[in-house]
Structure 1
C-alpha cells in the first residue's frame, strides 16, 4: 500500500501548511505531492521539519523558482510544468498545476492518476482508467475551504481533508 498526501495552491499560508503537515505526519504517509503555487521560498521550511519524501511542480504564482528549488532540495524536488512518476506499487502519476491538459491526459489512459491544481476546487473524477484529482487549495483563496487529499493507491480510496 502507498499513501500519498496531495496538496496545492498553498499561496504562502503557513498556518494551513503547518496544520496539514501535522495531520500528514501522524498518518503514515509515503509521499507528499504539491501541485503548484507555493509562492514564496519560505514555504519550504515546514516541509523540512518532517521526514516524508516530497515532489512538486511549479504553478503560475511561483515567481522565485530558483530559490524555491534550492529550499526544497534536501527533501525532494520541484519540477517545471509537469512530472511523471511511478509509485512503489507501480502506479503511474502525472502531476501538473494547469487544468487545460487534464482531459487529454486522462483520455490517453497512460496514467493511473492525473493530479492538478490551479482552480482551488476539489475534484475526484474517474475518466476512463484514470483517476483525476484536484486537492483544492490550502490557502482558502477563491474557496471557502482549505483542503488537501490523502490517496491510497492500493484501494484507490481518496479522502478530502479540511484544515
Structure 2
C-alpha cells in the first residue's frame, strides 16, 4: 500500500491538494497529515480527491469542532484523530504525531513500523533504533506549505517495501 505523508499545510489548501493529487497518480491509497491544518477549508479540495485522510492537530489548532463536524460529513474520508493517533494501514502499525520529539520517543518503543511527525518544517527520513533491538522508520515530510523552508515538501511511502522518499512540489 502506498501512502502520502504531509504536514504543516497552514491553510495552504491548494498546495496540500497538489501533493495529494501527485501521490494519487503514483498509486497512493491514503494520506497521513501530521498536523497544523488550521482551518477546514484547507481540506476541502483534498477530500474531493477521494483518498482517506488521517490527520492530527498540531500546535496551530484552528477549530477542532469544525474538523470533527467535517469528518462526520466526509463519508469516511476524513479521520480526525486529535493530538495523536495509532492506526494500521497496509498491515503496518503507524503512529502519527505533530512533534518530532514525541515521534522519536514512540519510534524508540519498537511498537510501530512507522512513526510520522511534522512541526519542524524540515524533511527527514531515518531509522530510529528502538528498545526491542531493531529500528523504526521515522518520517517527517517537512512542510507542504513551504513556510520557513526553501521548498514545499511531502513524502511518498510504500508500506509493502517500507521505502519512503521526500518529494518537492514544483513552484
In structure 2, list runs of 5 or more residues that go unmatched: 130-134
Structure 1 segments of 4 or more deviating over 6 A?
Answer: none
Could you give the per-residue CA deviations for residues 97-141 of structure 1, whole angstroms, max 9, x where no partner exists? 012222221221111111001000101010122000000001111
Match of 2:106 in 1: 105
> How do 1:60-71 residues align onto structure 2 when only pairs under 5 Å count?
60-71=59-70
Normalized against structure 1, the TM-score is what? 0.93
Q: Output the CA distance in 2 between the equivalents of 1:110 and 1:154.
A: 18
Q: Output the CA distance in 2 between the equivalents of 1:101 and 1:14.
A: 26
Contact 2:11 2:37 in 1 (8 A): yes
1:92 aligns with 2:93: yes
The CA deviation at 1:14 is: 2.4
Normalized against structure 2, the TM-score is what? 0.89
In structure 1, list runs of 5 or more residues that go unmatched: none
Aligned residues: 161
* The one of 134, 140, 145 aligned to 2:140: 134
Match of 1:46 in 2: 45
Q: Output the CA distance in 2 between the equivalents of 1:142 and 1:157.
A: 27
Could you give the per-residue CA deviations for residues 38-76 of structure 1, whole angstroms, max 9, x where no partner exists? 111111211221111111101111221111222243112
